[in-house]
Chains A and B, each alone.
Chain A
Amino acid sequence: MLIRFTCNGKAVQLEAQPEARVIDVLRDELGLTGTKEGCGRGECGACTILLDGKPVNSCLLLAGKIADREITTIEGIAGKDGALHPIQEAFLDKGAVQCGFCTPGMILSTKALLDENSAPELAEIEEALSGNLCRCTGYGKIVEGVLEASERLRQGSHHRGDVS
């Protein structure tokens, strides 16, 4: 079937089986290989993308379900000028990235959280990232990265408010 959706701000239409997994559509049809497959069962969160701003496991999402909806992948969150998103910057500065395989999903889950809640409590961060496994960091630096990103986004939004 022909599926139309928005991906990283761009209108996309492509031919796909309605039961195709969205992770495969993204990786194989659109070449967006930043979305990673760690388990294929929705247990690790490496394939997290944003669907209408909410984090979902793209390995469990069927192509038929994304018609007319909006998807954001890791490739779609940097600024138009190529500048890193503050979450990406904060993750690097705080050492929240080691091997990097969980990182795209971790960053997107963080974005969904901070878009909803600009100053999350620790428990809210834990809840928001509880579906994203990481074997390298021990998570402490990821929590620091999220807190730092939250701080920067709140400060940055004032600045952006000034110019717009």
Chain B
Amino acid sequence: MKVIGKQVRKVDGFELVTGRAKFAGDYQFPGMVYGAVKRAGVPAGRITGIDIEGARNTPGVIDVLTARDIPGPNLIGVLPPYDQPLLAADEIRYAGESVVLIIAETAEIARFAANLVSVSIDPYDPILTVDDALAPDARKIHEGGNITLSKKLLKGKGKAALEKADVVVEGVYETSFQDHAYLEPETVCAVPGRRITLYASCQSPFHIRGHVAANLNVPAASVIVVQAVTGGSFGGKDDVATEIGSLACIAAQRLNRPVLIAHERKESIIGSNLRHAARISSKTGAMNDGRIIAREITVLLDGGAYASESPFVTMKTLIHAAGPYNIENVEVTSTSVFTNKTYCGAFRGFGVPQVTFASESQIDELADKLGMDRLEIRRINGLKAGDSNPTGQVYAQSVGLQETIQVIAAQPAPPAHPDGGRYLYGTGYASVAQGISNGAEGIDVAGASVQMSQDGSVLVGIGLTELGQGSRTVWAQIVAEVLGVAIENVSVRLVDTDAVHDSGPTVASRSTTVGGMAVLKAANEVKKSLISMAALMMQTDEENIELRDGFAILKMDDSARIPVSSVATAAYWTGFPLMNLAFSKAPEANFDDDTHQGDIYIAYNYGTHRMDVQVDAMTGKVKVLNHFAAHDVGRVINPLGLAGQIEGASLIGFGMAHMERINYAGGIIQNANFADYALPSIKDRIPTNSIPVEDHNPTGPFGAKGAGEPPVAAAAAVFANAISDAVQFRFTKLPITREDILNAIQQRGNHG
């Protein structure tokens, strides 16, 4: 391999380090105006009146829109029937809800005027906890009730098998809401026309195009969505980009002027989706030899005011709750619930971090109860090729969990520390499996085009988005490898809904795997054309030709070679196709709706982490001494990009486990800024040492599997286990803050 597996720079990095990359807020058009919204400010109620006079009369204000000004259904969402209004018409379901859109000559005037809008709301008692939402007499937040989705998984005899266990451990675990906190707040810019163009910081442009078209009441083909360079997303720039994208387009068409809407940081936190808070009740039963025979898990997700991705996150937690283990009997119930809080949706990991924290905490508790080594219990129960996972799916290969456990076991042991000093030391382990592809969430298709120019340079197009994760670089590597050209000669298009094919959403760690397969197929077709042409030119058979180093080369005499540019030029004039549009379709999920037994994902990424921590017993301050993160990625495409994914995802998991918490009071978020919402800074970083394991995946390009999400879950879980080991106290809630640690140490001191 010339390019696959080699460390390469980001193909789109030059623009980023020079400041030339155009993010959505960098677009400027003549006559551009700016939008800002008035938000509800109270978590629940009925709108009784809206006074927009003050805003309308403000100099510089051009237009004021309410729900009645939306031409289409005024609804967005992920799954029909859509439930989330662009601008609230009568019901208020969360405090950050948009009610009125102001368009003004400057963003400052728009914001000033938004503050002059007075929305009269007849308040309801807000429903702020899942228990209140599920109470029998609870007010219904939506017509259909307060449950978004509730599903069950049953394998074998389920919880009934717990009776047969020698040992049962039981616990309840909780996690908090987490904000994506991408550095670029959500921004869109709409340019009117017979066909309207939306430049958007976003994750899934085709999803946005559909909603913009519906809310404008025009055909989808009348809308062009161009993904601007996007400053991070992590699952977060989907619903909200749809909301402000639709609003900007509607205003732009009304006024016939370009409209830019950019969220402030506070709006990014209160007015766009968060990671679900979760409560997970769990029982695990094992035999004295350490074999787990049954798990019973109940997952309750606080989904906030609107459905968003809650149904899919519910499914994901259902499938992942029992962990990467070979267990005969599993029973999981997962339920997502509406509350009067900011809606929750996709966030890197998609429910798996929450359930993995619960699962891996309990595995440690089980090991302790059995008096077993904590890594050994994972080894004994961990999935192997040919085993039946919690949905009963059996993979013949690419189940690299055991190898991740082995490489973690082989890392140098942490130095021994004497007991009784100021510092407490601990080591934690955690294993994870995370499904790759849409799986049970829907059919998974990606379309990609590969096009060679006469000079031998190549243009790749795909409807999946680069969000910083390095996907464009991976696709370029695949093409460079297949066509035998230098990666510098491969460019990947911007995602423009006019120019690339709908490839579904950029989610579920599917870009390298499903997207990469489409790119690979298209590249292989172009390769066929080039080889056919070269065979004609060299008057030999096609099997005698290979593409390498920018040449078509005769295999038996590699001095006989023609530059690929000459082959491409000849092919062009001969009529060989130098462009191909290929689709890759993942094998469809096939499972029982009642038990969720069956084949779900095309592959799983497996991982095992170890973390060594030092805790200052006087201050609660934690120092992470070592963090080893081993993941089975099938095949490494770009080691630099892969390490970046594992390190970055790990720090998000660490933030979730130690620092980050959305604080609500009365349904209002109290810490909607970076001073009060503690995002890890460079001083908080952890020394992640990423260790790839390669267990060839037949469903991915060159054997690769996605890797963007799984480390979040493992890092969060391993932190909890390491701290619990250091403090000798089982923490059951994330985040485990310094204060929590100090409290636990004091409690332990009092009782010890």
What are the residues of chain B within 8 A of A126 when measuring CB–CB? Answer: 682-683
By the criterion CB–CB under 8 Å, are A133 and B681 in contact? yes
Number of residue pairs spanning A and B whose beta carbons lie under 8 angstroms apart: 162
Residue of A nearest to B9 (CB): A92
A97 to B10, CA, bound (A): 8
Tell me, yes or no, whether B576 is within 8 Å of chain A by CB: no
Q: Chain B's nearest CB lies how many Å from the CB of A26? A: 10
By the criterion CB–CB under 8 Å, are B651 and A46 in contact? no
Quick one: CB contact mask for A67-108 with B, threshold 8 Å, 1 for yes?
A: 000000111001000001000100111110111111110010
Residue in B17, B19, B467, B688 with the greatest tally of chain A CB atoms within 10 Å: B17
Tell me, yes or no, whether B72 is within 8 Å of chain A by CB: no
Quick one: CB contact mask for B12-25 with A, threshold 8 Å, 1 for yes?
A: 01111111111101
By the criterion CB–CB under 8 Å, are A98 and B183 in contact? no
Tell me, yes or no, whether B181 is within 8 Å of chain A by CB: yes
Number of interface residues of B (CB under 8 A): 55
Residue in B26, B265, B647, B682 with the greatest tally of chain A CB atoms within 10 Å: B682
By the criterion CB–CB under 8 Å, are B651 and A139 in contact? yes
Q: A43-B673, A100-B17 are in contact. Are A38 and B688 (CB under 8 A)?
A: no
Tell me, yes or no, whether A150 is within 8 Å of chain B by CB: no
Q: A38-B184, A130-B682, A133-B674 are in contact. Are A98 and B652 (CB under 8 A)?
A: no
Tell me, yes or no, whether B182 is within 8 Å of chain A by CB: yes
By the criterion CB–CB under 8 Å, are A92 and B10 in contact? yes
Partner pick for A44 among B643, B649, B674, B682, CB 8 A cutoff: B674
By the criterion CB–CB under 8 Å, are B265 and A101 in contact? no
- Mostly helix, strand, loop or mixed at chain B's interface? loop
Interface 9-residue window, one of B208-216, B227-235, B445-453: B227-235
What are the residues of chain A within 8 A of B25 when measuring CB–CB? Answer: 33, 36-37
Q: Chain B's nearest CB lies how many Å from the CB of A115? A: 18
Residue of A nearest to B229 (CB): A100
Residue of B nearest to A139 (CB): B685
Number of interface residues of A (CB under 8 A): 51
By the criterion CB–CB under 8 Å, are B264 and A40 in contact? yes
Q: A99-B467, A99-B468 are in contact. Are A104 and B19 (CB under 8 A)?
A: yes
Tell me, yes or no, whether A60 is within 8 Å of chain B by CB: no
Interface residues of A in 120-151 (CB under 8 A from B): 125-126, 129-130, 132-143
Tell me, yes or no, whether B687 is within 8 Å of chain A by CB: yes
Partner pick for A41 among B184, B230, B674, CB 8 A cutoff: B674
By the criterion CB–CB under 8 Å, are B183 and A74 in contact? no
A/B interface sample: 30 pairs, CB < 8 A = A33-B26, A34-B20, A36-B25, A36-B184, A39-B673, A46-B184, A74-B18, A74-B19, A84-B14, A84-B18, A92-B10, A92-B17, A95-B640, A97-B10, A97-B16, A98-B469, A99-B230, A100-B13, A100-B17, A103-B17, A126-B682, A133-B674, A134-B183, A134-B682, A135-B180, A135-B232, A137-B644, A137-B648, A139-B682, A140-B688
Binding site for A on B (CB under 8 A): 9-10, 13-23, 25-26, 28, 180-185, 229-232, 234, 264-265, 467-470, 640-641, 643-644, 647-652, 673-675, 679-683, 685-688
Binding site for B on A (CB under 8 A): 27, 31-41, 43-44, 46, 73-75, 78, 84, 88, 91-95, 97-104, 107, 125-126, 129-130, 132-143
